[in-house]
Amino acid sequence: MSVPPGVTPKDFSDAIKRWQEALGAEWVFTSDEDIDLYRDPYSPVWHEQEEPIASAAVAPDGVEQIQAVVRIANQYKIPLWTISTGKNLGYGGSAPLLGGSVVLDLKRMNRVLEVNDKNHYALVEPGVSYFDLYRYIQDHKLKVWIDPPDPGWGSPMGNSLERGGGYTPMHDHFDAVCGMEVVLPDGELMRTGMGALPGAKTWQQYKYGFGPYIQGAFSQSSLGIVTKMGVWLYPEPEAYLLGTVMVWKRNDVIPLVEIFTELVSSGTMRGCTTVASPLWLGLPDPELDTLRAGGSVTAMEEYGRRKGIPYWSIPLPFYGPAKVVAAQWEYAKKKCSSIPGVTFQDGPSYRFPLNADDLAKVRDPVQIGIPSLQIFGLLPPQSRGHIGFSPIVPMDGQALIDAFSLFDSIHRELGWGRAVLTTLTSFPRAIVIIDLFPVEKDVEKNRKMRELYRRLIKEAAARGWGEYRTHTTFMGDISNTYSFNNHALRRFHETVKDAVDPNGILSPGKCGIWPKRMRKAEA
Amino acid sequence: MAALAVVSLILASAAFAAPPDQEQIERGHKVYDKWCFPCHGSGQGRPGTASLAARGQKPAVLEERTDLTAPTIKQFVRHGVLFMPTFRKTEISDADLDAIAAYLTRNNKP
């Protein structure tokens, strides 16, 4: 067992004993075998000296136990790293950012406290997974949908706080958060929004309460431990309809995205989708690879026409009354018909509720609020994990052409071959590029992967594209790119951090924000 | 030598373990359904099953296997393999893991 940085072995031993008294010895993990379970299986620094390994893990089962953990950590200045379900693979899993931190594992707090299918919200604890919440809703025959991200084993709370996304109209997860209960770094308990009003009847219905809106301070942050969170749900719609728009020339993406943006901004299309290039995502083909590496745009377009592969496509998911979704899709087709050569594909479509046979046939269950793990099926069978580079670019066709070309050329220049690039429209006015590549249990391969990742960060930032979220290994790199006015934003975050968490015990280094006593070490 | 000792231990535990009782198997079935089925079940969209099938493992659905041993199952759950991550004791307790092992070895021939 290692010792947290700056903590004496005696102090750490004393803290462990006190945590054991507070939680029960069974829920304080100190053996190498147990601590090994908190390593990040998708770590880009696996088995390297810089791999951050926890010194211990503690697993409270209630708010009072969390408060006790925090107070003890404060006394000995022991850094804690909070996880909810710990399945944030590709972003750090259940491992801390700072080696030697004690993982505060909230998985045992897995109670669904309320689901309201009249006002469409849930109140959950951190350890509740999307699978758990879905099962609860099914068991109680409630007419609401959750909005799962691709892997369903994550937590609605953790995913929302990390500003993840799903696919239904509730796909912007942090936007769907309404009301939090938070243990502050000194152990005090606070409720946000209407939760600050004793006996409030609208904690999960009105986000803002009174005064400065503080919920955002707890997303991607190290200012508190969220112990309860309200999340808005989607009333089960009458129908779902997917229609796909396909265009066949590279520059068609410019008018296509312009029309798409209007559909999104007007609320005509409220699901999350992808602006994808099937030509860029297509299966490996030596002819296509040669064309992508140096062929002309015309030759690529000709290849696509010959093979029946559109240059760009957007699947448009519509949710709501059957007549409305049909009309929305007709409207989208009418708008897109202004693009010469555009083609359309109808379906699938569903009417709800689905029976068991129809449910089993659904190809992409997350699209209709059903959690799944099938996204891992996109990985090669021998995959050991993945990591994603995910910058935010404008919702603009030319930006997509520029970004795809740039990232592909960087992949090739550094010897990675073609990049597999796609996008998600998780947020209302911008697009997230998704550039996935493998992590390995191989030090040299991972070193090269980090070189690629850091080059992508640098080149993207030089063009005004910044990442929305990243693995703990790269949080400092990303934070460094948000540097307007000599890092004024980070300096502000540090001022707040030092005021709220003067001993710097909560998640040091999270998103590049270090407490005062560790700031030199970080620099 | 250490490796030999471990192998002997695994073989011994597989050969001489008492058959699990029905209650333990039923508990294991529930835990399996919660934690393992989404990846290792039958039907479409089960990446664990697809990965095992692609690597020639037959049958690829874990519930249909009759050659798994409790130590092997525990090794995979606690250490992961390929893109399957580790599972912590706050997710699957040692007792639940014993139950999963009982369920997945229920059809093994003595």
The whole-number pLDDT of residue A378 equals 85
Poorest-pLDDT segment among A134-148, A234-248, A375-389, A465-479: A375-389
Whether residue A377 and residue B50 make contact (CB cut-off 8 A), yes or no, is yes
Mark whether A294 and A385 lie in a shared domain: yes
Mark whether A278 and A361 lie in a shared domain: yes
Residue A382 main-chain phi, psi, to 5 deg: -95, 10
Q: Answer with the one of A59, A84, A105 that is the final residue of a domain.
A: A105
State mean pLDDT over B1-12: 42
Q: What angle do CA A275, A216, A395 make, to 5 degrees?
A: 20
Determine the structural domain holding residue A252 and report its residue range: 239-469
Q: Answer with the one of A82, A105, A128 that is the final residue of a domain.
A: A105
User: Considering the domain boundaries, does residue A186 fall inside one?
Assistant: yes
Chain B residues within 8 A of A375 when measuring between CB atoms: 47
Cα separation of A84 and A82, whole Å? 7
Mark whether A86 and A170 lie in a shared domain: no
Mark whether A331 and A409 lie in a shared domain: yes
Size of the A and B interface in Cβ pairs below 8 Å: 77
The whole-number pLDDT of residue A151 equals 94
Whether residue A386 and residue B83 make contact (CB cut-off 8 A), yes or no, is yes
Mark whether A418 and A299 lie in a shared domain: yes
In this predicted structure, the answer to whether residue B11 has a pLDDT above a threshold of 50 is: no
Residue A166 main-chain phi, psi, to 5 deg: -125, -140
The whole-number pLDDT of residue B17 equals 52
**Catalytic: which of A76, A91, A240, A453?**
A91
Chain B residues within 8 A of A373 when measuring between CB atoms: 38-39, 45-48
Compute the mean pLDDT over every residue in chain A, rounded to the nearest whole number: 96
Mark whether A189 and A320 lie in a shared domain: no
User: Considering the domain boundaries, does residue A223 fall inside one?
Assistant: yes
Distance between A196 CA and the closest CA of chain B, angstroms? 31
Mark whether A274 and A164 lie in a shared domain: no
As given in the structure block, the two tokens for residue A316 are 């448009």
Mark whether A316 and A196 lie in a shared domain: no
Distance between A152 CA and the closest CA of chain B, angstroms? 9
Mark whether A444 and A326 lie in a shared domain: yes
Mark whether A197 and A76 lie in a shared domain: no
| CATH for A167 | 3.30.465.10
Which of A187-201, A284-298, A348-362, A425-439 tops mean pLDDT?
A: A187-201
Domains of chain B: 26-104 (1.10.760.10)
Q: Nearest-CA neighbor of A311 among A256, A259, A390, A239?
A: A256
A240 labelled catalytic: no
Compute the mean pLDDT over every residue in chain B, rounded to the nearest whole number: 86
The whole-number pLDDT of residue B110 equals 78
Q: Answer with the one of A235, A262, A288 that is the final residue of a domain.
A: A235
Mark whether A89 and A195 lie in a shared domain: no
Domain count, chain A: 4
Chain A residues at the B interface, defined by Cβ less than 8 Å, are 27, 29, 34, 36-39, 41-42, 57, 59, 85-87, 89, 93-94, 105, 107-108, 127, 131, 152-153, 360, 363, 365, 371-377, 379, 381-386
Full-model pTM: 0.94
The whole-number pLDDT of residue B12 equals 43
A490 labelled catalytic: no
* ipTM above 0.90 for this complex: yes
Chain A residues within 8 A of B78 when measuring between CB atoms: 37
| CATH for A98 | 3.30.43.10
Q: Nearest-CA neighbor of A273 among A313, A239, A320?
A: A313
Distance between A459 CA and the closest CA of chain B, angstroms? 29
User: Considering the domain boundaries, does residue A330 fall inside one?
Assistant: yes
User: Considering the domain boundaries, does residue A335 fall inside one?
Assistant: yes
Q: How confident is the model at residue A437 (pLDDT cuts 50, 70, 90)?
A: confident
